[in-house]
Amino acid sequence: MHIVDRRLNPGSKSLENRQRFLRRAKALVQGAVKKSSQDRDIKDVLEGGEVSIPLDGMNEPRFHREGGTRDMVLPGNKKFIEGDRLPRSGGGEGRGKASDPGEGDGEDAFRFVLSRDEFVDLFLDDLELPDLAKRKLADVESTSLSRAGYATSGSPANISVSRTVRLAMARRVALRRPRPETIAELEAEIAESEGARRDELMAQLEALQAKMRRIPFIDPIDIRYRRFENTPKPVAQAVMFCLMDVSGSMSEHMKDLAKRFYMLLYVFLTRRYKHVEIVFIRHTDRAEEVDEDTFFHGPASGGTMVSSALQAMHEIVRSRFRPDDWNIYAAQASDGDNSISDGAVTGRLLTEMILPVSQFFAYLEVGESNGSTFEMPDSSLWSLYQKLRAEGAPLSMRKVSDRSEIFPVFHDLFQRRAPQEKAAP
Amino acid sequence: MTDTATAETASAERLFEGADWDFPTLQRIHDACEEVALNELGLDVYPNQIEIITAEQMLDAYSSSGMPLFYKHWSFGKHFAHHEAFYRKGLRGLAYEIVINSSPCISYLMEENTATMQTLVIAHAAFGHNHFFKNNYLFRQWTDAQGILDYLDFAKSYVAQCEERYGRVAVEQTLDAAHALMSHGIDRYPGKKNLDLRAEEKRAGERRAHEESAFNDLWRTIPTGPIKSAELLNVERRRKLLGLPQENILYFLEKTAPRLQSWQREILRIVRHIAQYFYPQSQTKVMNEGTATYVHYRIMTRLHEQGRLTDGNFLEFLQSHTNVVFQPEFDDQRFSGFNPYALGFAMMQDIERIVTDPDDEDREWFPEIAGKGDVMGVLRDIWANYRDESFISQFLSPRLIRNLRLFHLHDDPADSEGILVDAIHDARGYRRIRRELARQYDVGYIDPNIEVVDVDLAGDRRLMLRHVVVKGAQLNETETRRVLQHLADLWTYDVSLVEVDTKDTVLKEYVLHPRAMAAAA
């Protein structure tokens, strides 16, 4: 008898099969991921976890029969005698699961666990950041070698043989170096001929051989080396501005909606950029930059002046994030209230200062949970932004009133589009 | 004085103490089991190879039907994910072992098992199943224990090569289609052997010699039957040429599908061979488990009698043994059909009783084995020569029917009064119950009877299949369409399937057209 200890064998022999399965089920899994993310907390969503997909698309069909008259033998008779009739109504006595032998476990949905990365990848797979033109080099993190043509000097290891031989051949042809075959022919002829003819040929041969010696097969000037250059890998960086109205009219529910949107945006940006900074600006009738906790939970009260937040953002951009170096994203959440006198200032700030330097500016109008999105009347801010958009300002705006709408709206904003389409309708 | 001495020797012979084990312990356990199995039970086994694996590796093995190596396919990944999800949630435990019908016979043991469990598992798998694999006629006839691992290795590398050369999509499509038809890729009867040329020549010569010696001009004048029409002759010739009717659909495709590439034929062949390899296992679940359970029970009891197992260890064994052979009753929530371990073990024990201590009823029902005395001889003979269906129909005794309180239900949808209790455990019912239970294990009844009946060679090359409906059970429509779609893809022309009842009335007809296959390009 042999005993073999297999415990140390490399594990996950099924990994490849699992990947094949995931690849095949991708569309289904993606659908399931989106569905499950709608009613989950964003934090949980990003933890990955279990999803279930319908088995239908993944089934392995077999011929099998159903219906007809059935005979079965069962154990544990207690009170039946031959000739009894049992009522057929669902699940009556004697109708266990036993009736279909070999039917499998009756699996209707298929559940399995995705890792965090698998989950986020699938979650954001068909989304794209608009307007990525401004990828600026922030700090050089690493360099890589890349091919950059040929050089006349270099290390012997880098000799490009094909290029060298090509150049040598061109030179030999240009300088009419005699070919070895010509010399061989001449020698053969000499061997056959005699007298004056022979001397003449001998002279010719000598001239040719001298020429051959003068013009080498490979000259140092032919030699070429493959050239490599260090190319710095660009590291793109982004800053994300979260602007939120925290005046009394914003309820906890509305803040919650905004928070969800910000988190999605943050996750999305971190997937695209190595460095993402977040700036939280909250405002009532004056704006201040705060930390995350204060942003979402700190109490504040007062009127509403959107322009104050935009002004603050503008100043922060000017002092800390040079638009040349940073990709700037901004998302503003508000219930739409704004003091009437502020409208013109807001519009001017936005179109002249903010939008020209931003990659993307999204406005999210949050409403109470009971109100349907379509019934929300246009607020003052909404009408203002709509007017700006009509004039051609690159703004994206949506209304949201329920948790479950956040992801669809987000998805809608960043959906991968054909190039000519604008990022937001 | 003598008493203490025996007690000391008994404890000195103990195989192990407590729950821990190491490799020398396993070796000792194996040797002790082997001694009992070979000398006392007279078993005949392949050499054993015992492999220790982790839970994760056990899950891996699950997804490839227990085999140590298998080609890659997404469906195995699906099964793996499925098992894993259940296992993680704690809904399902893992088996204690997996055993493979190969020579050497490989048994996988889980590392978590206690020493007692390892003893149980070695007795169960490495001797019980092993003996059954080596001796049962179905396994001897249909499987090649020496060659299976090499063949799987070949299959794995062949499929991988095909993927490299012809693309993963094409290979996957072919495998999907082959898997869908796997249950109909089995030879149920050993076919006739093709004669080689020399033998054929010899036979022709003999026939000629016989004709010459028996020549009588009178034969010429004897009228023959009515002349067959040319059309009928054509059909007959074609069906003979194609070997129709053929129930092994995969074999038929491999040999005759007009536009398959040679690598596709080889893949069909691989799937067919593997299906054939597992065919005996599906027909002998009750016997196989019954044998193994009976063997482990005998070995463990003997080891305990010899003092090699402590009482505590033996109790631990009894606890898991009773769990294994537990048969819930039909109205129990846990009921999901017959437990093959329970039924098999109960029948083996019942046979032991009939052989050693029969009563009048047993003598009447089993005259040939009742009171014969040689339990192992009788059992070994049964293990070698029966499969579930024949085993139950011959050896299920009235006493066991009474003990299990079996009853037979007849459910006819046309009968509005309800389900009929057709037989119970009384003198009138024994034979009927036994026949019906045996039928539940008869592959001829379990698998739908589908055959390739003809190919329209002169017309559109349509492949014609026929399902003979038994007891009104027709095929599930969506599934059947999917399978037929796969079949049409391989055949590359239309495929039709008719369902007929036993009186040849057509109940339903399917026609499917092939889709473009990546491999056809």
In DSSP notation, B165-195 reads HH-HHHHHHHHHHHHHTGGG---SSPPPPPP
Q: pLDDT at residue A57 above 80?
A: no
CA proximity to B124, closest of B283, B310, B344, B334: B344
- The 10s digit of each residue's pLDDT in B77-133 is 888 877 777 777 766 667 778 888 888 899 988 888 889 999 999 999 999 999 999
- Alpha-carbon dihedral sign for residues A85, A86, A89, A94: negative
Say whether A391 sits in a helix, a strand or coil: coil
Q: How far apart are CA B30 and CA A286, in angstroms?
A: 83
At residue A373 the predicted structure's pLDDT band, cuts being 50, 70 and 90, is: low
Average pLDDT, integer, range B476-504: 89
CA proximity to A45, closest of A130, A127, A138, A114: A114
Percent pLDDT > 70 in chain B is: 95
Average pLDDT, integer, range A401-416: 74
Q: Using DSSP, how many helices (H) and how many strands (E) does chain A show?
A: 14, 14
Contact assignment for A17 to B72 by CB distance below 8 Å: yes
| 0.95 surpassed by complex ipTM | no
Q: pLDDT at residue A54 above 70?
A: no
CB B108 within 8 A of CB B98: yes
Report the pLDDT value the prediction gives residue B130, as an integer from 0 to 100. 94
B50, B406, B474: residue with CB nearest A3: B50
A68 interaction partners in chain B (CB closer than 8 Å): 413, 469-474
Report the pLDDT value the prediction gives residue B291, as an integer from 0 to 100. 94
B84 interaction partners in chain A (CB closer than 8 Å): 112-113
Q: Which DSSP string corresponds to B179-235?
A: HHTGGG---SSPPPPPPPHHHHHHHHHHHHHHHHHT--GGGGGS--SPPPPHHHHHH
Report CA-CA distances (Å) from B461 to B247, B250, B331, B392: 19, 17, 52, 45
Q: pLDDT at residue A133 above 70?
A: no
- The 10s digit of each residue's pLDDT in A284-336 is 877 888 887 787 777 777 777 888 888 888 888 888 887 777 778 888 888 87
Q: How many Å lie between the alpha carbon of A390 and the closest alpha carbon of chain B?
A: 49
Nearest CA in chain B to A18: B77
Q: How far apart are CA A141 and CA A274, in angstroms?
A: 10
CB B474 within 8 A of CB A66: yes
Q: pLDDT at residue B318 above 90?
A: yes
Average pLDDT, integer, range B449-478: 86
Report the pLDDT value the prediction gives residue A104, as an integer from 0 to 100. 38
CA proximity to A30, closest of A171, A102, A107, A127: A127
Residue with more model confidence, B152 or B187: B152
At residue A420 the predicted structure's pLDDT band, cuts being 50, 70 and 90, is: very low
Comparing A66-70, A201-205, B435-439, the range with the smallest average pLDDT is A66-70
Average pLDDT, integer, range A234-256: 78
**Most B CBs within 10 Å: which of A12, A51, A77, as the mutation test of the B interface?**
A77
Q: How far apart are CA A194 and CA A186, in angstroms?
A: 13
Q: pLDDT at residue A122 above 80?
A: no
Contact assignment for A14 to B337 by CB distance below 8 Å: no
Report the pLDDT value the prediction gives residue B195, as an integer from 0 to 100. 59
Average pLDDT, integer, range B217-235: 75
Q: How many Å lie between the alpha carbon of A260 and the closest alpha carbon of chain B?
A: 30
Q: What is the mean pLDDT of chain B?
A: 85
Instruction: Show which of residues 102-161 on chain A sit within 8 Å of chain B, judged by CB atoms.
Output: 102, 107, 110-113
Contact assignment for A74 to B429 by CB distance below 8 Å: no
Contact assignment for B77 to A3 by CB distance below 8 Å: no
Give start and end residues of each alpha helix (H) in A124-272.
161-174, 180-192, 196-214, 252-272
Cis peptide before A87 (omega within 30 of 0): no
Q: Which CATH architecture has domain A234-421?
A: 3-Layer(aba) Sandwich (3.40)
Residue B516, H or E segment:
none
Q: How far apart are CA B517 and CA B14, in angstroms?
A: 64
Q: pLDDT at residue B12 above 70?
A: no
Q: What is the pTM of this model?
A: 0.68
Report the pLDDT value the prediction gives residue B352, as an integer from 0 to 100. 93
Which residues is B498 bridged to in the sheet? B466, B509
Total Cβ atoms within 10 A of residue B347: 21
A-B C-beta contacts closer than 8 Å: 258
Report CA-CA distances (Å) from B491 to A206, B175, B508: 76, 14, 21
Report the pLDDT value the prediction gives residue A101, as an integer from 0 to 100. 38
Q: How many Å lie between the alpha carbon of A406 and the closest alpha carbon of chain B?
A: 30
Structure tokens at A361: 């500016």
Total Cβ atoms within 10 A of residue A138: 17
Structure tokens at B377: 């001889």
CA triplet A216, A218, A219: central angle to 5 degrees?
80
CA proximity to A305, closest of A251, A246, A231: A246
Average pLDDT, integer, range A236-258: 80
Q: How many Å lie between the alpha carbon of B7 and the closest alpha carbon of chain A?
A: 30
CA proximity to A29, closest of A8, A57, A5: A57
Q: Is A301 on the interface with B (CB under 8 A)?
A: no
CA proximity to B436, closest of B366, B389, B403, B399: B389
Structure tokens at B86: 């259940």
CB B33 within 8 A of CB B298: no
- Alpha-carbon dihedral sign for residues B51, B56, B57, B59: positive
CA proximity to A273, closest of A329, A324, A355, A318: A329
Percent pLDDT > 90 in chain B is: 32
Contact assignment for A7 to B413 by CB distance below 8 Å: no
Structure tokens at A312: 């603050």
The burial of A374, by beta-carbon neighbours within 10 Å (0-12 exposed, 13-18 middle, 19 or more buried), is given as: exposed
At residue A138 the predicted structure's pLDDT band, cuts being 50, 70 and 90, is: very low
Q: How far apart are CA B392 and CA B404, in angstroms?
A: 14
User: If you search the block for the tokens 């999210």, which residue do you land on?
Assistant: A364
Nearest CA in chain A to B336: A98
CA triplet A21, A26, A27: central angle to 5 degrees?
140
- Alpha-carbon dihedral sign for residues A22, A28, A29, A30: positive
- The 10s digit of each residue's pLDDT in A63-119 is 888 878 888 888 988 888 888 888 876 544 444 433 333 333 444 566 666 766 677
Report the pLDDT value the prediction gives residue A376, as an integer from 0 to 100. 60
Q: pLDDT at residue B54 above 80?
A: yes
B47, B64, B480: residue with CB nearest A63: B480
Angle between helical axes of B285-305 and B388-395 (0-180°, round to 10): 70
Structure tokens at A424: 């937001």
- The 10s digit of each residue's pLDDT in B328-372 is 888 888 888 889 999 999 999 999 999 998 999 999 999 988 888
Contacts 24+ apart (CB under 8 A), B273-279: B273/B151, B273/B155, B274/B152, B274/B155, B274/B182, B275/B182, B275/B183, B275/B185, B275/B186, B275/B250, B276/B142, B276/B143, B276/B185, B276/B186, B276/B187, B277/B101, B277/B142, B277/B143, B277/B148, B278/B65, B279/B138, B279/B142, B279/B186
Report the pLDDT value the prediction gives residue A417, as an integer from 0 to 100. 58
Total Cβ atoms within 10 A of residue A297: 11
Q: pLDDT at residue A230 above 60?
A: yes
Percent pLDDT > 70 in chain A is: 75
At residue A425 the predicted structure's pLDDT band, cuts being 50, 70 and 90, is: very low
Return all residues near A322 (Cβ < 8 A) that are at least 6 apart: none
Q: What is the 3-state secondary structure (H, E, C) of B244-256?
A: CCECCHHHHHHHH
Q: Where are the domains of chain A?
A: 16-59+117-125, 149-227, 234-421
Q: pLDDT at residue A59 above 80?
A: no
**Most B CBs within 10 Å: which of A17, A58, A112, A113, as the mutation test of the B interface?**
A17
CB B91 within 8 A of CB B107: no
Q: How many Å lie between the alpha carbon of A42 and the closest alpha carbon of chain B?
A: 23
Instruction: Show which of residues 24-63 on chain A sit within 8 Å of chain B, judged by CB atoms.
Output: 24-25, 50, 58-63
Q: How many Å lie between the alpha carbon of B92 and the closest alpha carbon of chain A?
A: 12
- The 10s digit of each residue's pLDDT in A7-50 is 887 766 777 887 888 787 777 777 777 666 665 555 555 665 66
User: If you search the block for the tokens 């054909």, which residue do you land on?
Assistant: A418
Backbone angles phi, psi at B2, to 5 degrees: -65, -35
Say whether B381 sits in a helix, a strand or coil: helix
Report the pLDDT value the prediction gives residue A347, as an integer from 0 to 100. 83
Total Cβ atoms within 10 A of residue B259: 14
**Most A CBs within 10 Å: which of B332, B419, B445, B451, as the mutation test of the A interface?**
B419
Contact assignment for B330 to A74 by CB distance below 8 Å: yes
Instruction: Show which of residues 78-107 on chain A sit within 8 Å of chain B, judged by CB atoms.
Output: 78, 80-88, 93-99, 101-102, 107
